[in-house]
Amino acid sequence: MRYEVTPWEVRGQVDYDRLVKEFGVSKITEELLERLERGAGGLHPLLRRGFFFAHRDLDAVLRDYEEGRGFFLYTGRAPGRSPMHIGHLIPFMMTRWLQERFGVNTYIMIPDEEKFLAKKVESLDDVEENVRRDILNIAALGFDEDKTFIFRDTEFIGRMYRAAVHVARHINFSTAKAVFGFHGETSIGLIFYPALQIVPTLFEHRRPLIPCAIDQDPYFRLQRDVAPKLGYYKTAELLSKFVWGLLGPGTKMSASEPETAILLNEDPEEAARKIMNAFTGGRATKEEQRRLGGNPEVCVIYHWYSLLFEPDDSSLAERARACRSGELLCGPCKRELASRVKRFLVEHQRRLKDAERRARRMMYDGKLASEMWNWEFKPRRPREE
């Protein structure tokens, strides 16, 4: 089946092996994981279980770290018409974990114009409420307030514009068209926007590492052509697959289709109800399931245990075994997940109460934020890599 992956649209069943080849990224090898584990003093389950599965230059990041040059983290979220769902938290959780393990600066971009330019929303006002909510959801994850800078484009543009102009001059329209599939109806704002998404990779004179899903790679492919010309580092990337929606394996979790998604601001009881209705790898009847066993490979419930709700590897393996053998039926398995998801939402919503204060520090008066409000871009002599 045909699929399409662009930064603005993911359609169809994604063939990740093919995508790795098409995009020209690399799979994360066991050897690289071991090296990351040595540097980080452990491995996050999302890495151990292969959800973050591909990369660019992760080996160079680890070399920079091992040799004392360090690196920095950069990621982002474009607010849209709907609030964030639980899957949207994943790149931020990964980023937070890397920040904690390596103690590095982290930049979080909130492009509050992107979905408007991509014509995903009708007015900037529609986005406004979600800008605030998304920032709070991210701030609630507990980034280091003195080493994290969260900024929205419409506010920080004065500091970024000079760098964006330098970046934009090095990208011609035929390249942008080939990379993003721009066409005659694309707004000229969206055609310029990639220059802005590249700017934070130039915030420090060190290698950036970007944790995100693989849909964002096209931006950073361009960055890797441009950055050396401006005397800066090519960015590295740590790339994930896409989370499954509740209605089936390989389907999209989409905040605008409520039955497919667990929204971060929803009533935990409602979230539990959706989990109880989710697609499983179970059989048509209990009797069949006891006799033939279920299939965790295609089960949305198991997918969510493995992503966020069962950190212990042996408990996860035991769950898969019990499912396959027919000992564990879908009812109790779903009920347990529903109760973990409920607990997660209650806890997240509790942390949101303190997030306003945290967000202010990370946007304006924490150590890194205060420095960034004086940041000035200077092009350097071109770099060889």
**Which residues would be at the binding site for ligand TYM (CB under 6 A)?**
7, 74-78, 87-88, 90-91, 109, 111, 114, 197, 210, 212-213, 215-216, 240, 242-243, 253
Cβ 328 to ligand TYM shortest distance, Å: 27
Nearest approach in angstroms of CB 153 to ligand TYM is 9
On whether the CB atoms of residues 20 and 27 are closer than 8 A, the answer is yes
Q: How far is the CB of 324 from ligand TYM (least distance, A)?
A: 26
Q: How far is the CB of 90 from ligand TYM (least distance, A)?
A: 5
State the maximum Cα–Cα separation within the chain, in Å, rounded to a whole number: 71
Q: 214 or 359: whose CB is closer to ligand TYM?
A: 214
Q: Nearest residue by C-beta to ligand TYM?
A: 76
SS3 at position 21: helix
Residue 260 Cβ vs ligand TYM, minimum distance, rounded to whole Å:
10
Shortest approach of ligand TYM to residue 75 CB, angstroms?
4
Beta bridge partners of 76: 109
Nearer to ligand TYM, 222 or 253 (CB): 253
- Min CB(327)–ligand TYM separation in Å: 31
Cβ closer to ligand TYM: 151 or 283? 151
Cα separation, 305 vs 277, whole angstroms: 16
Q: Residue type at 230?
A: L
DSSP codes of every residue in 75-121: EE----SS--BGGGHHHHHHHHHHHHHH---EEEEE-TTHHHHTTSS
Distances (CA, A) of 200 to 75, 76, 150, 350, 384: 9, 10, 11, 31, 20
Which conformational region is residue 249 in: left (phi greater than 0), alpha (psi within -120 to 50 degrees), or beta?
beta
Nearer to ligand TYM, 224 or 283 (CB): 224
**DSSP run (H or E) holding 180:** helix 173-180
Picking from 263, 247, 345, 342, the residue whose alpha carbon sits closest to that of residue 300 is 247
Quick one: 233 or 328, whose CB is closer to ligand TYM? 233
Tell the smallest beta-carbon distance from residue 244 to ligand TYM (Å): 8
**Alpha-carbon gap, residue 351 to 345, rounded angstroms:** 10
Nearer to ligand TYM, 7 or 282 (CB): 7
Q: Which residue's structure tokens are 């769950």? A: 319
Q: How far is CA 336 from CA 19, 267, 286, in A?
A: 34, 17, 18
State the minimum distance, in angstroms, from the CB of residue 111 to ligand TYM: 5
**Shortest distance, CB of residue 285 to ligand TYM, whole angstroms?**
32
| 190-194 LR contacts (CB < 8 Å, sep 24+) | 190/114, 190/117, 190/118, 192/164, 192/168, 193/111, 193/113, 193/114, 193/117, 194/218, 194/219, 194/222
Closest CA to 334 of 267, 258, 280: 280
Closer to ligand TYM at the Cβ: 109 or 320? 109
Our CB check for ligand TYM shows the closer of 243 and 328 to be 243
249 vs 322 by CB, closer to ligand TYM:
249
Residues facing residue 263 across a β-bridge: 85
Question: If we measure between CA atoms, which residue out of 124, 120, 91 comes closest to residue 108?
Answer: 91
- Of 138 and 323, which CB lies nearer to ligand TYM in the complex structure? 138
